[in-house]
Structure 1
Amino acid sequence: MASLRDVQNQIVSIKKTKQITKAMNMVASAKLRGAQGRIERFRPYADKFYEMLGDLAAGADSSVHPLLEVHEEIKTVGIVLTTSDRGLCGSFNANMINKALKLAAEKKAEGKAVKFYCVGKKGRDAVRKSEYEIAESYADEMSSFDFTLASSVGNKIIDAYLAEELDEVYLVFGKFISVGVQQATALPLLPIVSDDAEGEDSGSSAEYIYEPSVEGLLAELLPRFVNVQVYRGLLDTSCSEHAARMSAMDNASRACDDMTETLTLLYNKTRQAAITADLMDIVGGAEALKG
């Protein structure tokens, strides 16, 4: 049986750990409010952009712009993987990585080469241990980023697609649904197609009048559309990361309470056993003196 001092030291250590997890929970909660505000403000713009561009692209021929053209032979697939730079957020990063690696395995089984564009240190480190090539990586960016990061990533994959170094591109990110639910999502980025099944209300009967020509608008809007989708994925991943970390730290704090309660019970039992042993020694000594 452990000594009283050992049990007491464990209780003190666990209480200090709980102070850390509670502090990290509060920090994650504060960051989540800011990240949630950003994604809620940006989603209406991204949704309307998607609806308008889908209507615009539906009336244009795919030969109007290279980003609308489907390559005849799919040889190389690019996967943009967004994760966090730090851990302690439960299974969030593992879910993103597993989703991306599963997609890569499916493409490889079809005889296609796979290249990764990793945003976030955790995803980069995981892909480095795999057999797949990392074309670009962006580490230590997720703690503080803006549209510049999305433009940088988007322009890289657009240039690779136009140079026919990539034939398909997917974006893997953590879609923020609620504080308790973050869904690993693989979104097709290139080629750009009008997809009514994406989850948006594309049945709108609104008609648009475009000026200048549709071709001129597509040349300007299609690259920006890719950057907007990447930025939305980054915002979703950032918000999901903070929500997952807040939940993980809350669970850790509750686990500390349970361990403290268990160790306190053990401490009381150990202390009672020690007192009982001392009393038995006293009584035994007294009886020996009487004899």
Structure 2
Amino acid sequence: MPSLKEVKSRITSVMSTQQITKAMKMVAAAKLRRSQDRITQMRPFAEKLTAILKNLSAAQTDGDTDNWYSQVRAEKKILIIAVSSDRGLCGSFNTNVFKGVLRLIDEKYSAQFTAGNVTILPIGRKATDFFAKRGVSTVTDFSTLYSALTFDNVSNAMEYVMDAFKNGKFDKVELVYNEFRNVATQILRAEQVLPIVAPATENTQSTNQIDYIYQPSQEEIVTGLIPKSLKIQLFKALLDSNAAENGARMTAMDKATDNAGELLKQLRLTYNRTRQAAITKEILEIVGGAEALKSA
């Protein structure tokens, strides 16, 4: 049985940890409100613009338009954008992203990976550290985007991706991130960024029936709207991931606080039992000594 001093020291340590987890939960809740507002406002616009983007790419039949965004090439060199967090203590948030990327490579790009033609663009320090330790080829120029999460900074990252795809450095670009649903639910998403694919619909004629009127011209729409839409797609994914991270951290810290409370109950019970046993032992020693004196 542990001594009273040891049990009391553990109680003090758990109480200190519980205060920290409770404070982290409150901080995550405050950040969650802001990040949730940002993604709630961005999501309808981003989804509608992405739908227009895909329909626009699918409807282009003019051979004079250089729409390299939709050029399908042999999938020899693959770029995977992995969106994680900068900090831990958020449950399985980052682990899900890592598993999703590895599963994507295993199921679709195992041959390219074996040939060394799979590159990871990590966003977030956790993803950067994870893939660096495993010797995977990475592009770390944009790993610290979360330190200043603005549309301009995200645009720079997407411009690099678009230029690399246009120049043939990569033949396909995938995006893996956590989508925010609610505080307790994050859904892992794997989306194809480039080349742009037509929206999948049950009625295959629906896309062909879209009749666009281009103003000022089809070429200017392609060169203007599509890059902006791709930047917004990545920005939306980062906002989603940021909100999901705060939700996951809030949930994790809430559970940690509850677990600390349960542990405190057990430790206090152990402390009381140990104290009672010590008192009982002292009483028995006193009674035994008194009886010895009577006998003498």
Greater Cα offset, 261-270 or 177-186: 177-186
**Match of residue 230 from structure 1:** 234
Q: CA deviation at 1:131?
A: 3.5
Cα distance between partner residues in 2 of 1:101 and 1:281: 66
**Match of residue 12 from structure 2:** 12
Q: CA deviation at 1:210?
A: 2.6
Q: Structure 2 matches for 1:189-204, cutoff 5 A?
A: 189-196=193-200
Cα distance between partner residues in 2 of 1:109 and 1:62: 36
Name the SS for the 1:212 alignment partner: coil
**Match of residue 209 from structure 1:** 213
**Match of residue 97 from structure 2:** 96
Cα distance between partner residues in 2 of 1:135 and 1:144: 18
Deviations 1:80-122 (A, max 9, x none): 1111001110110011111112212334423452011111000
Name the SS for the 1:61 alignment partner: coil
Deviations 1:220-277 (A, max 9, x none): 1111121111101100110010000000100100010011000000001000100100
Cα distance between partner residues in 2 of 1:83 and 1:177: 17
Deviations 1:46-88 (A, max 9, x none): 01112222332222038531111111x2110100111100111
Q: Give the TM-score, by structure 2 length.
A: 0.91
Cα distance between partner residues in 1 of 2:62 and 2:101: 28
C-alpha contact 2:112 2:118 (8 A) present in aligned 1: no
Q: Structure 2 matches for 1:82-161, cutoff 5 A?
A: 82-111=83-112, 113-161=117-165
Match of 1:163 among 155, 161, 167: 167
Cα distance between partner residues in 2 of 1:52 and 1:160: 24
Name the SS for the 2:196 alignment partner: coil
C-alpha contact 1:124 1:137 (8 A) present in aligned 2: no
- The residue type equivalent to 2:29 in the other structure is S
Name the SS for the 2:145 alignment partner: coil
Name the SS for the 1:165 alignment partner: coil
Q: Quick one: structure 1 residues 34 and 209, their matched pair in 2 at CA, closer, same or farther if it must change by over 3 Å?
A: same
Cα distance between partner residues in 1 of 2:62 and 2:282: 90
Identity of aligned residues (%): 39
C-alpha contact 2:100 2:176 (8 A) present in aligned 1: yes
Q: Give the TM-score, by structure 1 length.
A: 0.93
Q: CA deviation at 1:208?
A: 4.9
Cα distance between partner residues in 2 of 1:162 and 1:268: 71
Structure 2 spans left out of the alignment, 5+ residues: none
Q: CA deviation at 1:197?
A: 5.6
**Match of residue 47 from structure 1:** 47
Structure 1 spans left out of the alignment, 5+ residues: none
Deviations 1:1-50 (A, max 9, x none): 11111111111111111110000000000000000000000011101112
Cα distance between partner residues in 1 of 2:185 and 2:141: 27
- The residue type equivalent to 1:223 in the other structure is P
